[in-house]
């Protein structure tokens, strides 16, 4: 007889993360957001506990697990009302790429700080005129003696104000073929010519989004991560983990919203009866429970495929998981607000802010429409539509 469940080690990790995050909670998170503070205390606490770099080898200060482990950390933080977007970026994208493709010197230099939270790294790929079409990025890198010079613009770059460095994707010309290729550069956020401007957002989060301007930023030769000729393989090594983490972020948010709604409708009475006894309230919340568990299962499948080395299988599953999780989060947040009635749009009850946070999951890091394109083309074999 076989059953499906996560390992006891993974479940224990979830319990420990939830326990730690619950000592901070949603009030801490929203207070930081509204007062312009950072969640640095929580970030360093999860780093000190060994949770932040759960996916990175123990040799570099990590937990020695896989993407499924760091995704579990991300989900449990969000489920306690503390969704940390930089979990997706620093350990999962940057940490994965550096560990898989960096030199031993680069791993020793960057990974311990990513694991303990003292050297958070941002990731910059999206551009104003490229969006999801990574092939059209215009940020360029060119050699100048023993150095590199970068020029370009990036947008929707998370947490630049919390990061010491940014992993930047740029195009570099190949002298042999005349073609261009993507190359990854680690850029200090205090480098001359590097500027970041915050984008005003409606979302209630301590983590900010930025436009980034890169004007003749000079970098040493060892700023390049991986093989210059590694191309898209190296780039996409960070994007499957990104989708898996985004799915965990959304399922955690969805769980938080559903837990708030369920607790409220058990206590709120109208005409002497808890409103949770009415099917008009109970059925939508039950639907959300089902949607969340299905999304979590696909997320765990995607992580298992990725950690087994099946990049193609992980790509399909990660996209599906991200799609399902974002839909589940949007539904759960909407139903939580509706279940609270007028209280659902007050700051006191703290659910209305989840609407924007959950909605972002349908857009970033890849839109639901592009996921549907991916599934149509790669899973169903349909003709390309664009």
Average of pLDDT values for 328-343?
A: 98
> Domain 8-119 in CATH: superfamily?
Acyl-CoA dehydrogenase/oxidase, N-terminal domain (1.10.540.10)
SS (H, E, C) the chain: CCCCCCCHHHHHHHHHHHHHHHCCHHHHHHHHHHCCCCCHHHHHHHHHCCCCCCCCCHHHCCCCCCHHHHHHHHHHHHHCCCCCCHHHHHHHHHHHHHHHHCCHHHHHHHHHHHHHCCCCEEEECCCCCCCCCHHHCCCEEEEECCEEEEEEEEEEEECHHHCCEEEEEEEEECCCCCCEEEEEEEEECCCCCEEEEECCCCCCCCCCEEEEEEEEEEEEHHHEECCCCCCHHHHHCCHHHHHHHHHHHHHHHHHHHHHHHHHHHHHCEECCEEHHHCHHHHHHHHHHHHHHHHHHHHHHHHHHHHHCCCHHHHHHHHHHHHHHHHHHHHHHHHHHHHHHHHHHHCCCCCCCHHHHHHHHCCCCCCCHHHHHHHHHHHHCCCCCCC
Interstrand relation of 165-173 and 121-124 (parallel, antiparallel or unpaired): parallel
Assign domain 123-230 one CATH number from 3.40.50.300, 2.40.110.10, 2.60.40.10, 2.40.50.140.
Answer: 2.40.110.10
Question: What residues contact 104, with CB distance under 8 A and at least 6 apart?
Answer: none
Q: Is the pLDDT of residue 155 over 80?
A: yes
Q: Is the pLDDT of residue 269 over 70?
A: yes
pLDDT in tens, 349-364: 999 999 999 999 999 9
Instruction: Determine the pLDDT at residue 135.
Output: 77
Q: Tell me which of 9-23, 166-180, 246-260 is least confident.
A: 166-180
Average of pLDDT values for 126-142?
A: 88
Instruction: Determine the pLDDT at residue 4.
Output: 74
pLDDT interval class at 125 (50, 70, 90):
very high
pLDDT in tens, 294-312: 999 999 999 999 999 998 9
Q: Is the pLDDT of residue 230 over 50?
A: yes
Q: Map tokens 């499924």 to a residue.
A: 68
Domain layout of the chain by residue ranges: 8-119, 123-230, 238-379
Q: Is the pLDDT of residue 272 over 60?
A: yes
Q: How far apart are CA 292 and CA 253, in angstroms?
A: 10
Instruction: Determine the pLDDT at residue 340.
Output: 98
The reported pTM is: 0.96
User: What does the mean pLDDT of the chain come to?
Assistant: 95
pLDDT interval class at 242 (50, 70, 90):
very high
Q: How far apart are CA 28 and CA 166, in angstroms?
A: 27
CATH tag, 238-379:
1.20.140.10
pLDDT interval class at 2 (50, 70, 90):
very low
């Amino acid at each position: 007889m076989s059953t499906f469940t996560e390992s006891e080690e993974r479940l224990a990790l979830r319990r420990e993360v939830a326990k730690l995050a619950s000592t901070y909670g949603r009030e801490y998170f929203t207070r930081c957001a509204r007062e312009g503070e950072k969640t640095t205390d929580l970030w360093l606490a999860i780093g000190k506990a060994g949770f932040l770099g759960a996916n990175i080898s123990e040799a570099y200060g990590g937990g020695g697990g896989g993407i499924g482990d760091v995704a579990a950390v991300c989900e449990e933080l969000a489920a306690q009302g503390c969704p940390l977007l930089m979990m997706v970026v620093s350990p999962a994208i940057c940490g994965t790429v550096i560990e898989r493709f960096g030199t031993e010197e680069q791993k020793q230099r960057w990974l311990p700080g990513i694991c303990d939270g003292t050297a958070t790294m941002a990731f910059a790929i999206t551009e104003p005129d490229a969006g999801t079409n990574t092939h059209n990025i215009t940020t360029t890198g060119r050699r100048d003696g023993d150095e590199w010079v970068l020029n370009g613009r990036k947008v929707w770059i998370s947490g630049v104000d919390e990061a010491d460095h940014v992993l930047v994707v740029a195009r570099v010309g190949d002298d042999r073929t005349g073609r261009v290729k993507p190359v990854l550069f680690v850029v200090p956020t205090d480098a001359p010519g590097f500027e970041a401007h915050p984008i005003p957002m409606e979302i209630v989060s301590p983590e900010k989004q930025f436009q980034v301007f890169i004007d003749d930023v000079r970098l040493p030769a060892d700023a390049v991560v991986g093989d210059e000729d590694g191309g898209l393989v190296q780039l996409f090594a960070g994007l499957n983990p990104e989708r898996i983490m985004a799915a965990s972020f959304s399922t955690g948010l969805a769980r938080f919203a559903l837990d708030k709604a369920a607790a409220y409708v058990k206590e709120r009475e109208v005409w002497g009866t808890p409103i949770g006894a009415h099917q008009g309230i109970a059925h939508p919340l039950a639907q959300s429970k089902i949607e969340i568990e299905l999304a979590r299962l696909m997320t765990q499948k995607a992580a298992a495929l990725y950690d087994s080395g099946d990049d193609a299988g992980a790509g399909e599953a990660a996209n599906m998981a991200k799609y399902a999780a974002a839909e589940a989060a949007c539904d759960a947040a909407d139903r939580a607000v509706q279940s609270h009635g007028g209280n659902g749009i007050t700051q006191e009850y703290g659910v209305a802010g989840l609407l924007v946070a959950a909605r972002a999951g349908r857009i970033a890091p890849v839109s639901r429409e592009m996921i549907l394109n991916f599934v149509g083309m790669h899973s169903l074999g349909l003709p390309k539509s664009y």
